[in-house]
Structure formats: C-alpha cells, structure tokens
Amino acid sequence: MSGAPLDRGLLDFAVELADRAGRLAAERFFAGDFEVGIKPDGTEVTDADLAVEELIRTELGRRCPDDAVYGEEAGAAPGVSGRRWIIDPINGTRHFVHRVPLFGVSIAYEDEHGSALGVINQPVARQIVYAGRGLGCRVRTGDAEAAPALRETAELRRARVEMVNPGRWPGDLLLALHQNVIVTGLAGGVVGVLTGLADAVVMAGSEMGYEDLAPLPVLLEEAGGRATDLSGGPLPSGPGTALVSTGRFHDALLGLLRPPGRP
C-alpha cells in the first residue's frame, strides 16, 4: 500500500480497543440481557450495539480528539485532522440477536493515503486479526500470535470459496461458482481467508456497508492477498460488494463473477 508506515503505537491502541469492545459484546451476548429494535432500513439493532460503539467512540475521543469518526449506529462525527475512524460495533447483529456466536467487532482507520489500519475481533472465538500499513498482518488466537496462513491451492477448481448473502444472488453468480470451484459453507469470512480455511470469500446480494468493508484493504494487502469489489475496483468505495482472496485466483474469480453482459 502507498504511504508511510503507520505508527505502531496507533495500531497497538486499536487492537487493545477492539479487544475491550469485544469483551463487552461477548459479555452482553452470553448474558442475553440486550434489547432488540428495528432500524429504518429494516435491520436489527440492540442496545449492546449502541453500548459497544459508545465505548469505542469514548476512547477514540480521548486518544484522537481531532479525528473524525463514523460508526454504523451513531453515524458521523466530524474532525479537523483529515483522518477518520470507522466502527462496526457488532458486525453480524442478526447472529448476535439469535444467539449464534458468529459476530465480530471491526475498527478501521483512514488517513491522507487511504486505508491505514484494520482490526476484526471475533470475541467468542477469541481471535483477532489486525494490520497496519507497512507493519504487516497478524492473527491472534487466544494468547498465541502468528502470521497469516494463506492457502496455496494449486488449481482454481480446487479452491474453496465462501459465499456471503447468497440468498439474494443472481442465479448466474451462483452457477458460475458451483461449476468452477468448491463452494464452502464455512463461516470464517475474511478471518477464514487469513487463517487458511478458504481461498476466497465473495460478498454479494445485500449491499455491504462502508463499515463492513473498511478494514479489508489493509488486512488483505498486508497479508499478501487482495480485496476488491466484484468489478475489480478498490474497497471500501464501490457498489457494496467484495471479493477477498489469497490473491492466487483473484482475477480468475472476478472473471467468473462478472460474466459477459454483466456490468
């Protein structure tokens, strides 16, 4: 990625903050003491989402008071530094609400050079992936920490590809994958690519929010993979789709997912 390496202290701060936020989310998840509401777009939100986002915003205000902040639940707060934090307090609220332990806390940071920091914490699995521009990507599982372990699949037809939101996919996208790769039901998502569970993840159907996509570019690039939208354009801007991969079959998968006649 272009731009100077991120300050290591800022990355350490973001990882610790995501860890704290994840502990709060997990505590509320296991206690089951959250209230559920419906947002204007029809999606679910809980008071746990609001509490986790408030925790993150409070700590950002103390550490980086001049930076802008955008959070999924409370929206945008302006800054004067030209830098911005992006928060998804509980990524996977529907899972959270229905007591499925597949949710996470995501934090991203952008500066004048673009995507600079990304952290995804899956607190129930006790797994955090994080990266800072020029600092590499790391995977922390429990108390152990390691470099990403990307799959080295030799042939496209043996690649494991996970689908996100397939219930709303056009039929040609589903058919293209089923005919050419091993479609997996693993729910590892981006973390699954970074830990060797999958070669790629395709996010389509329901539009992904900016906060869903913001951590992905720096995480994948620092790990040696790739992250684009389904037209091959840069994330997190674009139509709300994403292809996250080890990089080995990225262009081939883009070709499958963007057949002739599809814009």
Q: Using one digit for the tens of pLDDT, what is the confidence trace for 191-224?
A: 999 999 999 999 998 889 999 999 999 999 999 9
State the Cα–Cα distance between residues 263 and 258, nearest whole angstrom. Answer: 7
Reduced to 3 states (helix: H, G, I; strand: E, B; else coil), residue 216 is helix
Reduced to 3 states (helix: H, G, I; strand: E, B; else coil), residue 183 is strand
Q: Per-residue pLDDT for 186 more than 90?
A: no
Question: The domain at 8-146 falls in which architecture?
Answer: 2-Layer Sandwich (3.30)
The answer to whether the pTM exceeds 0.85 is: yes
State mean pLDDT over 3-11.
94
State the Cα–Cα distance between residues 214 and 209, nearest whole angstrom. Answer: 9
DSSP track, 47-66: HHHHHHHHHHHHHHHHH-TT
Q: What mean pLDDT is reported for the chain?
A: 94
Residue 14: per-residue pLDDT: 98
DSSP 8-state symbol, 36 = E
Give the CATH number of domain 156-257.
Answer: 3.40.190.80
Residue percentage of the chain with pLDDT more than 70: 98
User: 259 pLDDT band (50/70/90 cuts)?
Assistant: low
User: 1 pLDDT band (50/70/90 cuts)?
Assistant: low
Reduced to 3 states (helix: H, G, I; strand: E, B; else coil), residue 198 is coil
Q: Where are the domains of the chain?
A: 8-146, 156-257
